[in-house]
Amino acid sequence: MLQAYILLFRSFIRVFLYCICVSCMFPCLQYFSFQMCSLILFTAATSFFNDLLAVDFIIQKFRGI
């Protein structure tokens, strides 16, 4: 069960860092395209979803379902 909490914590930190990265890019949009910002946000959402699936699997395994 501790693995699930650690995974969730890492996932929130990763999404937070992705959001900081994108917010730092917005003033420099003349250098970075909107597609690049969208790709970073998509990567953050995908990794967060994968971590949630892993947490769900760990919880189900812990409960014995």
Q: Is the pTM of this model over 0.85?
A: no
d(CA 27, CA 18): 16
Q: Tokens 């914590």, residue?
A: 9
Q: What is the pLDDT of residues 8-49, one digit of tens each?
A: 788 778 777 777 776 776 666 566 666 777 777 788 778 878
